[in-house]
Amino acid sequence: MTLQTATATGRPARARGPMGAYGHLLAIYLIWGSTYLAVKLCLSGPAPLSPLHLQVLREGCGALLLACITAVRHGGPGRLSWREAGLCALTGILMWVGGNALATSCAPYAHSGFIVMAMGTIPLWCTLLDCVLNRARPTPRVLAALPLGLGGLVMVVAPALSGQGAIVTRHPVVVVLVLQLAAVTWALGTVLQRRLAGRLRPGWTAAIQMGVAALILGGASSAGGWSVPAHVGATQAASFAFLVIFGSVVAPASYIVVLRSFSPEMASTFAYVNPVVGVLLGWMVLGERPAALAMAGMAVVLGSIALMMRRGA
């Protein structure tokens, strides 16, 4: 069965990719759905790291490991033009300094499931940015879906803003705004990254992006001075290993394969599954029971995404 989608601008998009691309799509569905639970576990325990230090270690280790694996399997990255190198660095900053690091900074103050739900608006922002950057009129279906999705977002964040159930323990307005800024910057990086298609192997793209992000975040963190904790719990160690191996090596490389095989909107549909995985894991592992209104809002957001991506859109 052929799967078809259209971009936000109404142009046909590559929705059906090679069969192997669907395996990469499944990987980002499941891995990124559990990432923020692993982040919360890393930030707790006998010797908790700060969110900034966690990002530096995670992205630095992930970049080195992914670069080594890619070099052994495929050789060096080859010669890049200044434009390509700059675009690779820019998308790394947007996605890993902006999107991922900003979302991680909210982990000490919010339920992991809430963070995943709030980040579920990424496909909406992808579609809107695709319209703006391509200077084309959105289709009527997109015009209907965007306000519907934003209305669902209001439902998702309303319980947190009202202080219901300690979903966000401190500064709820700031946390919500930071999470949406994270979603927007990740979406912008997603749309821009397609311009690198075919110019650099996925593993090298992700390694360079995370390496640039680790250098920037490392520079920011060095001002305060810090050291790696001497004693960490088993849960912390396992969570960190998961973040490095799966969250920072497998998933980013898979995401780039997906970006090169599908449209930006299709590539961003990990937001369909991530909230479900994230909420269930947070509930089962940490007892983070989601608010009913937030769950209803998430259903509205996913419905708006489905409307945008309906066959023949």
Q: What are the tens digits of pLDDT across the range 138-194?
A: 778 878 888 888 888 888 888 888 777 667 788 888 999 999 999 999 999 988 887
DSSP string covering 70-89, please? HHHHH-------HHHHHHHH
Q: Which of 313, 250, 289 is nearest to 123 (CA)?
A: 313
Quote the crossing angle between the two packed helices 234-242 and 19-42, to the nearest 10°: 150
Query: Domain residue spans in the chain?
Result: 23-308
Question: Rounded CA gap, 146 and 155, in Å?
Answer: 14
Q: Could you tell me if 165 and 159 are in contact, meaning their C-beta atoms sit under 8 angstroms apart?
A: yes
DSSP string covering 183-249, please? HHHHHHHHHHHGGGTTTS-HHHHHHHHHHHHHHHHHHHHHTT-----S---HHHHHHHHHIIIIIII
- pLDDT 10s digits, 75-123: 888 787 888 889 999 999 999 999 999 999 998 888 888 888 888 888 8
Top-confidence residue, 273 or 284: 284
Q: How many CB atoms lie within 10 A of CB 118?
A: 29
Give 168's strand partners: 110
In the block, residue with structure tokens 């692993």:
38
pTM: 0.79
